[in-house]
Structure 1
């Protein structure tokens, strides 16, 4: 083999070792990701839509565990598990009703560098903070989302733990329960991915060349498997490959909503237009083949938006003119805090304290809450409900 070609394998091996070193450094001695964030009583009350007095009263009368012990006269705050328990006790859970259809959202764009996996993980953690039960399915063999959840796809994930045993031509699994892994978040589960998932593309492409029946069966199988799992969750987030392959098509058909992230640059805009045109053609072909595609909503989300860059503002204006209400009004701002968190293989929602300045962190977190809240509102509209009214707002209105 050519020496230069051999070098590619050496580069890959060296890179994988560095990823593992970074992961071990980020996730402490046992190399498992931990969730150490806490919420003060004021923030907890805001998330639950109630007053701080209501929480204190529930702690005093025994409905809730005693308040966390103080450190230097200050409460250290509530863990996510405690927050979830508070929601149940105080009737502040946003969980869907049994007859509501779980939201199965594909986060997709064929243009790389738009922050697809970053949007997916931040959206998952936003929903988690709000109290929803979330399943994230990494369908991309590059496995960026799997990495952000604290797993090294090269060292920690086997092919048998991905979608492969379920979607392969010779499947060894009849449902997807085998692949579900718990994460550091108590209400977020993950189906991970790794490079070997790409073998499904080869197998299904080969099967498709002999006729579309095997391909169609796999499409329907993924949808059925996800629907079976979704009964245990409120929101399912799908992160497909950034290319038009068999897995991407299966994911597009399995989803009941589509979120398209795109950056505010002319190449990203043009690429996204091509993506939407291609999707339109593919969906038509799938429907002709008897494979239904039905979305509750399709929205575009501008990511990595720099409000101080005139070119970004110009491109965003073009997006608004072209896409109208399908473009979500609040973009995700380009922030060093997101980049700094990603370097630690985390999202902003996992940070115990600001990495940059407190002002930068607060601005970034507020923007993410607003941007992700738009998607939460769409999900709740699909259930025939709007966001629950806050107790303080009701009192003030009276």
Structure 2
């Protein structure tokens, strides 16, 4: 081993070597495309369309496709399988709603006067599947027809990477450019939030990407706060200009407390706390909840009317066949009751393998896995999305408080 290393030079060399190797690996995986987004999203079967997108009986949907005029008919593929693009699916959904075939509790888009759900994915501990939860939840809700805005508040920007949007490399605006302080920065003007929103290759999902520049926001906020410049409302003020265009805003947060996270707490009206299925993670959760409570107490001092529509906890990386994890799950449910989602985010080789190829579950071909493996994790993620949808619809007043949508 070498000694007397110059840290800046050594770490810089590591960064360059890994960056080049990752680009070469991506080129091999994506060939003949140069970027993931060039390939486009896979097509979906009528069965997926009925079960995931419309929550409708399969034969009922086939009947509608056959008998209601002017509905997209998809394309016939080998094996006598008819498939649809997600754009076609959403067109079918809208026409079925207009024809009175989809009831209001199952129609995802807001009606006039309904509030945008602003959901914070929040836990200060790393490795609890925050980004995986945010991305997969966003895609399942988007499949259902919800218009989603993802806000990536993590300087590592993994959520943005999964959607093939890299503000630092592409020279495009990030959430930092929306939030920055002209007074504390280099004189450049803030970017209007509408200019920072980027459409993704996944229909119904837009994103405001994260970037390493978010670390600068922390230094600038400390300096600005010393001069009495408020920061709590920085995200909510920016969002107020665009949130009406979306049904759900999802915040993916970093694994540490920051001014940016506090501003997201102020901006959000619902919260999902991912928790890994391990006793050390539960011990850490106690400390996190205590800190989060203190932070919200400060926010409530600024805005006494601050309230959340729901706060739920999601057990992640869960293996029901592990006796220790099964016992932990029972302990949490006995202690926290309905605060726990009924559905757990299962540990799965499908998630691990999909992560290695930078693909959330809905982007991979189901035939890439054994049917049992794929169906297990699909049921898990779909169940999580349905519970969150139920919370949203309850908040909108479309379903009774006690009914839910399991």
Q: TM-score scaled by structure 2?
A: 0.87
Q: Distance in 2 between matches of 1:64 and 1:290?
A: 48
Write out per-residue CA displacement over residues 109-163 of structure 1, whole angstroms, 9 at most, x where no aligned residue: 000000000000000001011111111010110111011112245423x3x5111
Asked whether the equivalents of residues 271 and 311 of structure 2 are also in contact (C-alpha less than 8 Å), the reply is: yes
Change (3 A) 1:227 1:385: same
Aligned to 1:44: 49
Count of matched residue positions in the alignment of Structure 1 and Structure 2: 380
Q: Which residue of 2 aligns with 1:35?
A: 40
Matches within 5 A, 1:1-398: 2-28=5-31, 29-33=33-37, 34-46=39-51, 47-48=53-54, 49=56, 52=59, 55=62, 58=65, 62-65=69-72, 67-72=73-78, 74-91=80-97, 92=102, 93-156=107-170, 158=171, 161-170=173-182, 172-173=189-190, 175-208=192-225, 210-211=226-227, 213-214=228-229, 216=230, 218-290=231-303, 293-386=306-399
- Stretches of 4+ moved more than 6 A in 1? none
Query: Does structure 2 conserve the Cα–Cα contact (< 8 Å) formed by 1:26 and 1:345?
Result: no
User: 1:160-205 CA distances to partner (integer Å, 9 max, x unpaired)?
Assistant: 5111222111072363101111111111101111112211111112
Gaps of 5+ in 2: 183-187, 401-406
Runs (5+) with no aligned partner, structure 1 = 388-398
Deviation of the 1:282 alpha carbon: 1.2
Q: 1:227 to 1:24 in 2, by over 3 A?
A: farther
For the residue of structure 1 that corresponds to 2:374, the secondary structure is helix
Root mean square deviation of aligned Cα: 2.2
Q: Which SS does the other structure have where 1:195 is aligned? A: coil
The Cα of 1:352 is off from its aligned counterpart by: 2.4
1:322 to 1:60, Cα distance in 2 relative to 1, 3 A: closer
Would the alpha carbon gap of residues 89 and 173 (structure 1) be closer, same or farther in structure 2, given more than 3 Å must change?
same
SS of the counterpart of 2:367? Answer: coil
CA contact (8 A) 1:35 1:350 kept: no
For residues 330-369 of structure 1, what are the alpha-carbon distances to aligned partners after superposition, in whole Å with 9 as ceiling and x for unaligned? Answer: 1111000011111111111111233321210111111111
Question: Is contact 1:27-1:150 (8 Å) kept?
Answer: no
What is the alpha-carbon distance in structure 2 between the residues aligned to residue 19 and residue 98 of structure 1? 46
1:41 deviates by 2.2
SS at match of 1:111: coil
Equivalent-residue separation in structure 2 for 1:354 and 1:276 (angstroms) = 41
Q: Provide the C-alpha distance between the structure 1 equivalents of 2:372 and 2:275, rounded to a whole number of angstroms.
A: 26
Q: CA deviation at 1:19?
A: 3.3
Deviation at 1:37, TM superposition (A): 2.3
Further displaced range: 25-34 or 222-231: 25-34
**CA–CA distance in structure 2, aligned partners of residues 95 and 80 of structure 1:** 16
- TM superposition shift of 1:230: 1.4
What is the distance in 2 between the residues matched to 1:25 and 1:197? Answer: 31
